[in-house]
Amino acid sequence: MSKSSETMAEGKERYQAGVIPYKKMGYWEPDYEPSATDVVAMFRITPQPGVDHEEAAAAVAGESSTATWTVVWTDRLTACERYRAKAYRSELVPNTGEGTDTEAQYFAYIAYDMDLFEPGSIANMTASIIGNVFGFKAVKALRLEDMLFPVAYLKTYNGPATGVVVERERLDKFGRPLLGATTKPKLGLSGRNYGRVVYEALKGGLDFVKDDENINSQPFMHWRDRFLYVMEAVNRASAATGEVKGHYLNVTAGTMDEMIERAEFAKSLGSVIIMIDLVIGYTAIQSMAKWCRANDMILHLHRAGNSTYSRQKNHGMNFRVICKWMRMAGVDHIHAGTVVGKLEGDPLMIKGFYDTLREGYTPMSLETGLFFDQDWASLNKVMPVASGGIHAGQMHQLLHYLGEDVVLQFGGGTIGHPEGIQAGAIANRVALEAMVMARNEGRDYMNEGPEILNAAAKWCSPLKAALDTWKDITFEYESTDTADFVPTATGTN
């Protein structure tokens, strides 16, 4: 059988008016080897019943690059073979299909020539990769699992405005996770009351306090009031401790102009950090990252909205892809899971996110969900933020799973302390420093964690109160987004 009958039709046959399978239009090339200048996307495809999985992969390649539903002769005016995305591999996802409870899904690898994308534009790249194709009828469900970006393409992005290294140097904080908290209640406090929470938490020992994602400028608190009172609190706490302190002032607003106005005001008051929400969109994020780079500002991103498309396994996109895009777009902080807290997070998947944000090179690692060897081209590292239902009693687990380049955010775990906010902050800081010290001393801190915390609680009564209050609080639910591959034992016997 000739190759052309299976895959690409040629010449006159290919360009006859009408509808032909995507495979025959040249979007399926099983022999193709991605070049060093190809962007590669890996999709999880659930084909419609009766649709061949290779045809589905070709259709996804077609719809996310040059194809339309019918043949167009105008293709022949272009170097169309170059611009066609090429699906080159499609394989059954483990534990799906016949004999399982899940309908067949396929991992499809699709290569795109770098010239398909405008340099330095997340919006342009995503308009292709997740543009029309997710609503395409030939696939029942579709999920973008991972992407590989060539160094040449990555170099068209600035990357994080500040990055982990410079953030630490600017804050003069090394060798331990940073500590934060989100002001609670998230809605309803006046500016004056809001600043009280910030002052108490920072003076007690936290490095950062944070606006929540939906604190912008509401009837109970105008944004300027918040900024003014918060910066009074930040500066008072800094003078009281001799440390650089910060508060993520959320500049999210209805228009770019308003966001820039708020960012400028934060800068004029001496804030070291501002904040945006993922829902402002990729272009706005890139614009704010450029502004931060030009104004010596750290940029915190709250991932508001991501679970609408990242949580379910069969459709949407994996959060690791968001991590990659946000590192390129240029944020310095991103919420990326806690493992032990109240929000979604399988330990191995979260390791994959954290590695994507913090490493200079991430090798393929199927058990953590990384499908490609990715060279990060010296783009700055992003500081992951762990937030949501964590407390001092979990410090050993947090340090073990998340490492030291992370912001640990104890909102309820600070503000809900029975002896007050400062006491909550002290408890967290003492627990953190005691655990880091024990780790550095070579102790088996993961197993001895409770012991280490109890020993510190003997001389630190706020820590004792924290441990007593939250000792039984855990969030043991099954994760929905888990690895498809399990590490295989490599016994030598």
Q: Which residues are catalytic?
A: 184, 302
Q: How far is the C-alpha of 371 from the C-alpha of 365, rounded, in Å?
A: 6
Q: Give me the least distance between CB of 199 and another protein, in Å please.
A: 11
**Near another protein by CB under 8 A: residue from 127, 151, 269, 473:** 269
Give the CA distances from residue 377 to residues 318, 327, 370, 374, in Å, rounded to whole numbers and listed in that order. 22, 11, 17, 9
Q: Which of these segments, 84-92, 113-121, 213-221, 437-445, binds another protein (CB under 8 A)? A: 437-445
**18 is a contact residue toward another protein (CB under 8 A):** no
Angle between helix 256-268 and helix 223-241 axes, rounded to 10 deg: 30
Q: Which is nearer to another protein, 336 or 438 (CB)?
A: 438
Report the C-alpha gap between 381 and 358 in whole angstroms.
5
Please choose, from the candidates 361, 381, 411, 187, the residue with its C-alpha nearest in 3D space to the C-alpha of residue 298: 381
| Cβ neighbours, 10 Å, residue 269 | 16
Position 176 contacts another protein (CB under 8 A): yes
Query: Alpha-carbon dihedral of residues 14, 17, 20, 26, nearest 10 degrees?
Result: 30
Cβ distance 301 to 334 under 8 Å? yes
Specify whether the CB–CB gap between 22 and 55 falls below 8 A.
yes
Using CB under 8 A as the binding rule, whether residue 458 contacts another protein is answered as: no
Q: Least CB distance from residue 457 to another protein, whole Å?
A: 13
Q: Which of 243, 419, 448, 451 binds another protein (CB under 8 A)?
A: 243
Binding to another protein in span 187-226, by CB under 8 A: 203-205
Binding status of residue 444 toward another protein by CB under 8 A? no
Per-residue binding string, another protein, 348-367, x by CB under 8 A, is ------------x-------
Query: In the stretch 303-342, what mask flags binding to another protein with x, by CB under 8 A?
Result: ----------------------------------------
Q: Which is nearer to another protein, 9 or 460 (CB)?
A: 460
CB of 172 to another protein, least distance (A): 6
Q: Collapsing DSSP states into helix, strand and coil, what is residue 240?
A: helix
Asked if omega into 34 is within 30° of 0 (cis), the reply is no
Q: Is 381 in the site for another protein (CB under 8 A)?
A: yes
Find all residues with CB under 8 Å of 21, minimum gap 6, and list them: 55, 58
Residues that bind another protein (CB under 8 A): 165, 168-169, 172, 174-176, 203-205, 228, 231-232, 235-236, 238-244, 265, 268-270, 360, 378, 381, 422, 426, 429-430, 433-434, 436-437, 440-442, 456, 459
